[in-house]
């Protein structure tokens, strides 16, 4: 099968289209014929090998043999292991199998859920990592309740676009922070207020928020806490912050009540089902900035590295 294989750490030049063996299907596995995949900041850090800790997952001292990039995928079930009961060949699914930028991806049954018939494969592929991060941050870490004021810093990015919609679904009054060109888009997602960061700094006076989900980490921890209510919580998204910022936030969280620990999402089938239901209800809609064919995945990574993507970047494999 054709796949995007990472051969070293560095720029997008380390990504190559290669012919490799199709994944073997274990007793508990589902093999998916990938229609679309999506990339996000974690994939970019893995390509760079920085922060250094990502090499524990990608490989040390160099990427694992035939390491295929991409976590999120949507497509058709090709084959299932003998212990699999939820899926059968030709089912349409999406999830977080890893090795997604390839013609086939294989993972345990609990890494997938049925794809809603109401959305495309491109939209489904855009969901898992980013939407899980938004859901788990706001629900589990922020404990967002109806009527609370929630600020999403970096509201136009992959996590931010989902976070605005999920916070609204939880009944919050939502403020999104983004650049000038993204103001209308963020407002269209349901944000009650939108701050153009080129014109206004949300940490310098103004409203106070019950929860700040920080996808950008472009302010100090103390500045962000200054924008909170007395009982508020600042949640740095670890997928977008440097290692030093993450460590500082973690240490601060041990001593400062309003400093939440850095958010690290985890793939959970039950949470993917929650997202599936939100998608089917039309409560959340993925925002896709650009799509690329599999052969142009390195170019997609270059664009991702510029830091200006609106929503998600999708790789069309089919």
d(CA 143, CA 232): 11
Higher pLDDT, 255 or 42: 42
Cα four-point dihedral sign 170, 132, 228, 217: negative
Kindly tell me the burial class for residue 9, based on how many C-beta atoms sit within 10 Å of its own C-beta (0-12, 13-18, 19 or more): buried
How much is the pLDDT for 56? 83
**CATH 3.90.180.10 domain locations along the chain:** 2-127+287-316
Phi-psi region of 74 (alpha: psi -120 to 50; beta: other; left: phi over 0): beta
**CATH 3.40.50.720 domain locations along the chain:** 129-253
Residue 264, token pair as written in the block? 């690290």
Residue 238 confidence (pLDDT) above 70: no
User: Per-residue pLDDT averaged across 162-174, rounded?
Assistant: 98
- Is residue 247 within 8 A of residue 224, CB to CB? The reply is no
How much is the pLDDT for 19? 97
d(CA 171, CA 233): 17
How much is the pLDDT for 244? 67
Of the listed ranges 156-170, 179-193, 256-270, the one predicted with least confidence: 256-270
Residue 46, token pair as written in the block? 């893995």
Percent of the chain with pLDDT strictly greater than 70: 96
Residues 6+ apart with CB under 8 A from 94: 72, 73, 74, 75, 112, 113, 115, 121, 124, 125, 127, 128, 272
Residue 222, token pair as written in the block? 């103390």
d(CA 246, CA 236): 8
For residue 61, cis peptide bond before it (omega within 30 degrees of 0) = yes
**2-127+287-316: what fold?**
Quinone Oxidoreductase; Chain A, domain 1 (3.90.180)
Is domain 129-253 annotated with CATH 3.20.20.370? no
Mean pLDDT of the chain: 93
User: Per-residue pLDDT averaged across 38-46, rounded?
Assistant: 92
Higher pLDDT, 8 or 49: 8
How much is the pLDDT for 252? 75
How much is the pLDDT for 243? 60
d(CA 218, CA 140): 24
For residue 248, cis peptide bond before it (omega within 30 degrees of 0) = no
d(CA 266, CA 253): 20
Of the listed ranges 20-34, 148-162, 186-200, 258-272, the one predicted with least confidence: 258-272
How much is the pLDDT for 205? 83
Closest CA relative to residue 119, chosen from 99, 94, 98 = 94
- Is residue 71 within 8 A of residue 139, CB to CB? The reply is no
Kindly give the pairing relationship between strand 193-196 and strand 173-178: parallel
How much is the pLDDT for 132? 97
Residues 6+ apart with CB under 8 A from 284: 131, 162, 165, 166, 169, 275, 278
Could you tell me the pLDDT band of residue 240, with boundaries at 50, 70 and 90? Answer: low
Residue whose entry in the numeric block shows the structure tokens 């274990």? 26
Residue 292 confidence (pLDDT) above 60: yes
**Phi, psi (rounded to 5 degrees) for 15:** -95, 130
Maximum mean pLDDT: which of 68-72, 219-223, 255-259: 68-72
Instruction: Please give the angle made by the CA atoms of 298, 300 and 305, to the nearest 5 degrees.
Output: 95
Residue 278 confidence (pLDDT) above 60: yes
User: Per-residue pLDDT averaged across 203-227, rounded?
Assistant: 91
Percent of the chain with pLDDT strictly greater than 90: 80
How much is the pLDDT for 17? 97
Residues 6+ apart with CB under 8 A from 306: none
Residue 184: CB atoms within 10 A of its CB come to 10
């Amino acid at each position: 099968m054709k796949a995007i294989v990472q051969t070293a750490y560095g720029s997008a030049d380390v990504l190559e289209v290669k012919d490799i063996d199709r994944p073997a299907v274990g007793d508990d596995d589902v093999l998916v014929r990938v229609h679309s995949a999506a990339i996000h900041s974690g994939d970019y850090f893995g390509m760079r090998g920085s922060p250094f800790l990502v090499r524990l997952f990608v490989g040390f001292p160099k990427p694992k043999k035939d390491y295929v990039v991409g976590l999120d995928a949507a497509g058709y079930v090709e084959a299932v292991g003998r212990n699999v009961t939820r899926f059968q060949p030709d089912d349409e699914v999406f999830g977080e199998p890893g090795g997604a930028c390839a013609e086939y991806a294989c993972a345990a049954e609990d890494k997938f859920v049925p794809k809603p018939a109401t959305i495309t494969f491109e939209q489904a592929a855009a969901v898992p990592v980013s939407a899980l991060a938004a859901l788990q941050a706001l629900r589990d870490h922020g404990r967002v309740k109806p009527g609370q004021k929630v600020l999403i810093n970096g509201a136009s990015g992959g996590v931010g676009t989902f976070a605005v919609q999920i916070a609204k679904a939880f009944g919050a009054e939502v403020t999104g922070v983004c650049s000038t060109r993204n103001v209308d888009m963020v407002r269209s997602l349901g944000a009650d207020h939108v701050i153009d960061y080129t014109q206004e700094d949300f940490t310098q006076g103004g409203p106070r928020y019950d929860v700040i989900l920080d996808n950008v980490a472009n302010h100090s921890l103390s500045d962000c806490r200054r924008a909170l209510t007395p009982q508020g919580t600042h949640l740095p998204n670890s997928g977008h912050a440097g290692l030093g910022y993450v460590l500082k936030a973690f240490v601060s969280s041990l001593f400062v009540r309003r400093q939440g620990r850095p958010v690290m999402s985890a793939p959970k089938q039950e949470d993917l089902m929650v997202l599936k239901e939100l998608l089917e209800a039309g409560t959340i809609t993925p925002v896709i900035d650009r799509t690329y064919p599999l052969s142009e995945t390195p170019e997609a990574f270059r664009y991702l590295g510029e830091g200006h993507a609106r929503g998600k970047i999708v790789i069309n494999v089919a």
